[in-house]
Every structure is written in structure tokens, then in C-alpha cells.
Structure 1
Amino acid sequence: MGKINWFPGHMAKAFNALNRIVKGVDMVLEVRDARIPLSSINSKLEGLLKGKRHIVVLNKADLISKSSRQAAIKQLQQQGLLALPASSSDPRSTKQLLRAAVGWIQRDRAQSELSIMLLVGLPNSGKSSLINALKASAKAAGVLGAQQAYQKRAAVGPTPGLTRQVSGFQVAAEPPIYVLDTPGVMMPAVPSDEVGFKLALAGAIKDSVVGEEAIVRFLISQVSSNPRHIAALQAAQQPGYRLPGSSSSRSGYDTAARKRQEAKARELRSALAAVAAAGGLARASAASSLQERLQDNLQDVAPWHPGDEDAYDASDAQLDTGAYLRLLQAFRAGDLGQYMLDDVE
């Protein structure tokens, strides 16, 4: 395939708006997906942040191991950056982030009538979810009343580019501090295909730009050949292993639903391990086996349109797009294990 790039018109407009807005803000929270803390660097964006109070937020930190978090933070610190882990599913992490950001502003701008923090980052890095978590932390800390904290929530969704306009949300009362949530902005030029595939696998680039099959093949190549990812998949297959951040551990699931979700996650991990051990999707038998297992897993999850298994051969091993998407959704939710896609250790 050709070089991976995704910089549609609305992102160009958003970047131009950022160029104007950033001059008037007091702090920038640069949100990066914790699984791609280096690949998600937007060099053009970094140029705008020079001279600004700047915290790199390693969001979705529950989707990587503790050692990977520590290694990523250490590497960013060596670059002269303050980095903090965060997860919208972990109130403690967002509380610590809020305390650090607000404390910094309160120390430097105690007499300010109004201070503004700007959230920036790639699409689907979890900025809007993080804002809602920060507002919940502000309410829990007694900084804001319920009406203020939840008067307006950020739009949240799994599709890159969902937030299309800059919106402001209050997170502190004394002094008044607002956070501006901005649309996700991709770098105008992805530096390499490897970085492009990492961005796509994490969900920063729309699946249709790269193709679900191509992204799944990249995932399988990683868990087949990268020792770090092989170890992550093996760890996730251990009995009793509970995936932090996985859909099976999120609130809102009753016991029966949680058990069903955990069973589906175990089956997906087993299917991924089997096709990786078989050498990927090039072999007809491996592709057919993965199709069958994903077909079972898709029941009660998404519509499934089974294809003719006899149509599979070594030169044309195709899976239904819905099956590929199911596997990618599971990876992005943490159901397949904890994977640090960048080399930080």
C-alpha cells in the first residue's frame, strides 16, 4: 500500500485555530495514547508549545504495564518533559493530574481572574473522556458543585475526529480555571509506515484509511515476532488474569454480563495466539480457523455475514470486515492484553 497519511480539511482548520488559541492559554495538556507515547508526537504541534507550561498526559495508562509506564515517563523526562499517567477509568490518576495542573497554575497565577488549560492531541487519544474524568475529580474534591461539574460534558466516542469544535469546560472555581477541549489533530505527514500502522492500531487513524485487514495483519505480525508483545499475549492468557481497562472490568456490567465478556475476551486472545503461532494469515488454514473463531465471538456483539470458507486459499486469505473490526475493537479496549507499541524500555 502507499504511504499512510490522514490530514483531512477539518484538521487543517483545527490546527490553524490552535495556532491562534494557544497564544492565550496558561497551560497545555498534551494527551498521548500511553501505548504510543513516541509515535504520537506531532512535531508541528510541538512547535506551538514552546515556552508554554506543558504536561504530557499518558492517557489510557491502564492499557500498558506498570514497567512500560515508568519507562515511557523516564524517556520523556530525559527529553525535558513533565509526563503523568492518566486513565478515565482510574479516578486516582485523574485526581493526581488535576492536582498537578491546577497547583501549577495556582502557584504561578494565583491572582488571575481566569486561567485556561488547553487539551491537545491526536484523534481518539481520549481527550473528551479525560475531560469528563477531570470534572468528576473536581466534583469529588469539592472544587465544583454537581451542577457546575456536569453542566456540559464533552462529546465522547470511539471514532477518530468525533469532536469537531473547540469547547470549554470548567474544572476549578478559585481561581476559575477552564479546560478547552480541541479536535484531535493528526500530524500532516506520518514519518514512516511503521508509525502509521501503530497509529492505526491504536485507533488514531480511521480504519478505512489503512484498511482493517492491513491493521490486523500488522497486529498479528507484532504478536508473532516482537518478544515484548509475545510476552504480553502470554501474560494475558494466564488463568485468572484480569485486564485493567478491559470492557469486562468496566462499571455498568452485571455479574452475568461481565462473565460473558470475560469469556469472549479469553476466546479472542486464544484465537490471536493460535493464528500468530501458525505464522499469520498467509496460510489458508490459519485464516479459516480465525474466521470461525471470530464468527462465534461476534454473536451478540455485531452482525455477522459468513463467507464461503472454500474461497480461502494461501494467496487470498480474507476475513469479513466485521471480524477484523471485532479484533481491533478488542485490542483497543485492552481485552487482548497490555501492549506498549513503542520501544521505550
Structure 2
Amino acid sequence: MTRLADLTTLRVGGAVRSLVQPATERELIDAVRASDAAHMPLLVLGGGSNILAADAPFDGLVVRDPRRSVSVQDDGMCGGVSVTVTAGTPWDDVVARAVDEGWVGIEALSGIPGSTGATPVQNVGAYGAEVADVIALVRVWDRLESRVRSLARVDCGFAYRDSLLKRSMRGAAPDAGVWSPSPRYVVLDVTFQMRQGTLSSPIRYAQLAAALDVAEGERAPLADVRAAVLAVRGSKGMVLDDADPDTWSAGSFFTNPILDEAVAATLPEDAPRFAAGEGRVKTSAAWLIEQAGFTRGFAVTEGAPATLSTKHTLALTNRGAASAADVLELARAVRDGVRERFAVELVPEPVLLGATL
């Protein structure tokens, strides 16, 4: 019996009714179409690094994409390269190859677990970079229109940890319904446009700049940036390690809140503030959590099997025997504590499957 606990980095989740791992794009599309025709819940799963699945069985179809390929189209005189990657390819494999080949633009996204197909859905980002910076095209299976579509970057509606693909799970287009737990658009492959070079994109994150001993806005050798990012992520328990329960998580569990200026003005003077456009301000979820009294290793009760990471307060971790209910109890305690202290509502970053906060 396959359990979602065996397929996700949080290591929680109930039994799966049906699991398929299609070998080709056509088999993947056929599996999705059959599931939709039968009105069966569908979960398209990559690395399972951004999901909190309930303990109850999932009475639907899990499609796990094992296709791994990278196709390179050299743009020659433009000094750039186009790279098309199948959705099932592990993301960090793509970053590692980019650094080795001298493809500039995703080096700061090193060490992020999960599959390439998940990156445009979440608009994955870290250390001042996000994947939307280099995406040129996302090929998808449109479950509503039953056809393959190619979405240019502008069509993807990228925003902070968000996209058209993700918004389809919230009913962003009323006439299209709500698609859950997988989006209306199932990613088949992603094409990235990157420039070629030996130096990184400008370093936009203070902690990374300090680790590289450069000023913000400067560049550094690609390999140095990757090594620094992996070191910083590793120090926070954000690089998967089977021997380290601090990495048995879904990464950063809450997104950094984006607030109206009036709300941001009610925060303490030392609260982190970053311009987010149009009278909006982004602040740090980790800072809010810590200032609300939640420390590294916090547990709802002594000996609880789900705790905040001992390395980073933004990660909720499974210490080895946690259930989804345990993780949800911890998440609610943190969310409610921040709301009570700052009147700010933290929003979970992972997909909640059969579960609510």
C-alpha cells in the first residue's frame, strides 16, 4: 500500500487509492483525462516537497511524473541559451547543470527540492531570485479545454509565490471553476531563457552577499554562489537529508506577508519592511513568528512529534512519528499566535490536501 507519507518530504499523509507513473507525455495526459472523465480527485505530484496531506486516505488518482530530460537550444549570437526541461526532472539537477554549463539566472535557486514542473506553479523563489525571472514558456495540459497549450511568461500571471496556474486552484476565473488539489493546468515541460556567462546575476539578498563577501548588486562566480546558497540553506535545514529531521518539512511553511502600508505601519519599528509595489509592503514571516514568542524547536506540548525546526523557525518539521494532525496543530498555534500579537494572518505556502488550517 502506497501512502502519501512515502511520497512527500513532510512524511505525512494517508493511503493512496491509485498511483500511476506515466513513462511518456501521452500516458500522462491520458491518465489525467481518464481521472477527470471519472470525476476522480487528481493529484499530480513531483517531489512532494510542497504538500501537507491529511492522514485520511486519498480517494483519487496520484500521477507521479518520472520523465527526466533537458533539451538545449543555443541562441548563438544573442549570447543566450534556451533550455526545455520535462516537468518530472528534479529542480536542483537543472540548477547544478546550469552552473556547470555557464547558464546564468537560477544559481540562487540551488538546493530547492521538488520537480521542475512545480516551479512555475509556485513561482519558486529564494535569496532575491525567482523562477519567473528566466521562464520563457510553460507547456501545459489544459484540463478545462482538453488540449495542450503553450503559456508565454506574460500569460502565466506570475506574482510573489503565485501564478495563473496556482490561482486556478482558488477559482481565479469564475467560469472555469475551482481545480483542486491540482491546478487546471498540468505542467508538461518548462522552457527557460538564460544568458551565458561565468558570473551570476546581481546578488539581491543581504545574507547571501555577506556569505560571498560581496556588496549587494555585485556579481560572483556561478559555482561560488551555488556553494554559498547550499551552505546557507543547509544551516537552516533547508537541504533534504534523510538523517536530519530538521529537513523533514515542506520548506518555509508560511509565505512572507504582503500588507497594506497602513497595516505595516502598525508593526514595531524594527520589523523588516520591503517595498512590494502599489502601496504594499512585504515583511518577514520568520520575524513575526519569532517576535510572537515561538523559538526554534517549539512544540505545542513537550515531546510532541511535530516541532519548529531547531535551525529555522519558518519550517515545521516531522521529528519522525508525526501525523498530519500533529503538523496542523503546530501550524495553527503559530498562525494564531502571530495573529494575536500582530493582527497579521500568516498564509501557508504548501498545498493542503484534505486538510485545513
| TM-score (norm: length of structure 2) | 0.28
Of Structure 1 and Structure 2, the greater helix share is in 1
Larger relative contact order (Cα-Cα within 8 Å, sequence gap ≥ 6): 1
| TM-score (norm: length of structure 1) | 0.29
Of Structure 1 and Structure 2, the greater strand share is in 2
